[in-house]
Chains A and B, each alone.
Chain A
């Protein structure tokens, strides 16, 4: 099992020591053109999570390749995963093609940012376009809004993805005292503890449909939470919102995970991989539609 950050939840250039405490660092999403992102206010806390409407702020593909990527490679010694975004399948593919560089360990396709208009093509079409132009490992970050996770995941696998990242944020809104949206964009991506059950269900459904590696994420705050994702079939785990509150979370979660495994009588995470799936297979809800 590897521990990563969720894309957009860590800047390895301002906090390299936090990135170094992970097994791999995932960049903020890179788009073809520079994006300043959405106007403030961009974040709002809720009772059980937070909303963000950053809007894929990034320096754009050219500056990323020329400046950011070499800087990252110099600042951290863990593998660098590049999150790729775009507004058409071709834009995604063009970026993937240019990421054929030694510094890049893996590409994660952000197919599900709730803060920008989505590409008109389906997730599978985007994956196929990228698969055609890159030999790098290709992970697809899937929306939790998917109506039929099994079908989505099978289509993405058939299109040539090497793995899945589950889940991205859910779209949400909060209102201020005068009933106006707190965020300037109106809605944003909902993250944090409230997402845990959604992430567990998504990983469980995806694992029922594929044997691809899955990076589970969504509201993980403790080692126990990480182990629950593994129990649902996640191969790796990523930390998101918890990094905002606790930059020491990677080290802490690892220690807690080891304790949790021990207290449940196991030797390693492998003992718990997918253990929640058996119950699903025997449940009435597994009946085919």
Chain B
């Protein structure tokens, strides 16, 4: 696995994708890592960086999809080309790519790691769920995906007999696990550091509180019972 590095990078562009923002930064000597791994992005004016999984790795760049809902993500979405920020990664454990019949499943901002994952798996089928047509504009990042909009759920549209790799809100992941027990699921937790120092991101894994940044964010099916 590639060693994480922390570098000051400049913003190449920030693009609106539906209600989300795609923040593209110059890559420097950062390694894009394995799909599902994440980076800590310095959030301008904030005390702590924000964990974001890599969405795309265009030549010479790293791109992160984020939902500007809090002070940190809003500060990141407000960046302009040429602005600089520290980027640290890749961190955590990504998806296992040795799957025979992959199916990508994403919900809302949880689609963030899927475009890069789709590239690595040579564009497998995907099912994406969104809460509105405006949010569903982000499906453009995964051109061949089947898109469902609330009240239709991704679990209504998932074909059977596939190796599921999924990221999305906890209720969605729980529902996927119920019908696809071997699914690889990417979870989320508030993190201060992203590299195992703060013990802030613990979730219940195998009956114990463990750091999601060290054990995850992608956990095997047996790995986790919901902490909340």
B68 contacts which chain A residues (CB < 8 A)? none
Whether A192 contacts B209 in the complex (CB less than 8 A), given A246-B86, A247-B88, comes out as no
* Cβ B42 vs Cβ A43 within 8 A: no
Stretch at the interface among A34-42, A67-75, A253-261: A34-42
* B190 part of interface (Cβ distance < 8 Å): yes
Q: How far is the CA of A246 from the CA of B203 in the complex (A)?
A: 24
Q: Per-residue CB proximity of A181-194 to B under 8 Å, as 1/0? A: 00000000000110
Identify which of A9, A44, A46 contacts B197 (C-beta below 8 A): A9
* B125 part of interface (Cβ distance < 8 Å): no
B190 contacts which chain A residues (CB < 8 A)? 40-44
* B116 part of interface (Cβ distance < 8 Å): no
Tell me the chain B residues, 191-205 only, with Cβ under 8 Å from chain A. 191-193, 195-203
* B59 part of interface (Cβ distance < 8 Å): no
B189 contacts which chain A residues (CB < 8 A)? 40
Tell me the chain B residues, 170-228 only, with Cβ under 8 Å from chain A. 189-193, 195-203, 208-209, 214, 227-228
The smallest C-beta distance from A125 to any residue of chain B, in angstroms, reads 29
Chain B interface, >50% SS class: loop
B48 contacts which chain A residues (CB < 8 A)? 45, 50, 244-245
* Cβ A42 vs Cβ B6 within 8 A: no
Q: How far is the CA of A36 from the CA of B47 in the complex (A)?
A: 26
A18 contacts which chain B residues (CB < 8 A)? 197
Closest residue of chain B to A53, judged by CB? B200
* Cβ A15 vs Cβ B6 within 8 A: no
* Cβ A40 vs Cβ B196 within 8 A: no
* A276 part of interface (Cβ distance < 8 Å): no
Q: How far is the CA of A236 from the CA of B48 in the complex (A)?
A: 25
* Cβ A11 vs Cβ B196 within 8 A: yes
* Cβ B214 vs Cβ A36 within 8 A: no
Q: How far is the CA of A241 from the CA of B228 in the complex (A)?
A: 26
* B72 part of interface (Cβ distance < 8 Å): yes
* Cβ A54 vs Cβ B199 within 8 A: yes
A241 contacts which chain B residues (CB < 8 A)? 47, 192
* A243 part of interface (Cβ distance < 8 Å): yes
B201 contacts which chain A residues (CB < 8 A)? 40, 43
Q: Which of B6, B193, B196 has the most CB of A within 10 A?
A: B193
Tell me the chain B residues, 44-72 only, with Cβ under 8 Å from chain A. 46-49, 71-72
Q: How far is the CA of A39 from the CA of B72 in the complex (A)?
A: 24
Identify which of B6, B198, B202 contacts A246 (C-beta below 8 A): B6
A45 contacts which chain B residues (CB < 8 A)? 46-48, 71-72, 192
Whether A244 contacts B199 in the complex (CB less than 8 A), given A45-B46, A46-B47, A50-B48, comes out as no
* Cβ A42 vs Cβ B200 within 8 A: yes
* A57 part of interface (Cβ distance < 8 Å): yes
* Cβ A243 vs Cβ B197 within 8 A: yes
* A49 part of interface (Cβ distance < 8 Å): yes
Chain A interface, >50% SS class: loop
Interface band, chain A = 20 to 34
A52 contacts which chain B residues (CB < 8 A)? 192, 198, 200
The smallest C-beta distance from B75 to any residue of chain A, in angstroms, reads 12
* Cβ A40 vs Cβ B197 within 8 A: no
Whether A54 contacts B86 in the complex (CB less than 8 A), given A14-B214, A36-B209, A43-B190, comes out as no
* Cβ B227 vs Cβ A40 within 8 A: yes
* Cβ B47 vs Cβ A50 within 8 A: yes
Identify which of A14, A41, A245 contacts B42 (C-beta below 8 A): A245
Q: Which of A10, A39, A46, A245 has the most CB of B within 10 A?
A: A245
Q: Per-residue CB proximity of A219-262 to B under 8 Å, as 1/0? A: 00000000000000000000001011111100000000000000
Whether A57 contacts B199 in the complex (CB less than 8 A), given A45-B46, A49-B47, comes out as yes
Closest residue of chain B to A36, judged by CB? B209
Whether A14 contacts B195 in the complex (CB less than 8 A), given A37-B209, A45-B72, comes out as yes
- Using a CB–CB cutoff of 8 Å, the interface residues on chain A facing chain B are 8-11, 14-15, 18, 28, 36-37, 39-46, 48-50, 52, 54, 57, 192-193, 241, 243-248
30 A-B residue pairings within 8 Å (CB atoms): A8-B199, A10-B197, A11-B196, A11-B197, A14-B195, A36-B209, A37-B199, A40-B189, A40-B203, A40-B209, A42-B190, A42-B200, A43-B190, A43-B198, A43-B201, A45-B71, A45-B192, A48-B47, A49-B47, A57-B202, A57-B209, A241-B47, A243-B197, A244-B193, A244-B197, A245-B42, A245-B49, A245-B193, A247-B193, A248-B6
- Using a CB–CB cutoff of 8 Å, the interface residues on chain B facing chain A are 6, 40, 42, 46-49, 71-72, 86, 88, 189-193, 195-203, 208-209, 214, 227-228
A-B contact sample (16 more), CB < 8 A, given A40-B203, A43-B201, A245-B49: A9-B197, A10-B197, A14-B214, A15-B197, A36-B208, A37-B209, A42-B190, A52-B200, A54-B199, A243-B197, A244-B192, A245-B47, A245-B48, A247-B88, A247-B193, A247-B197
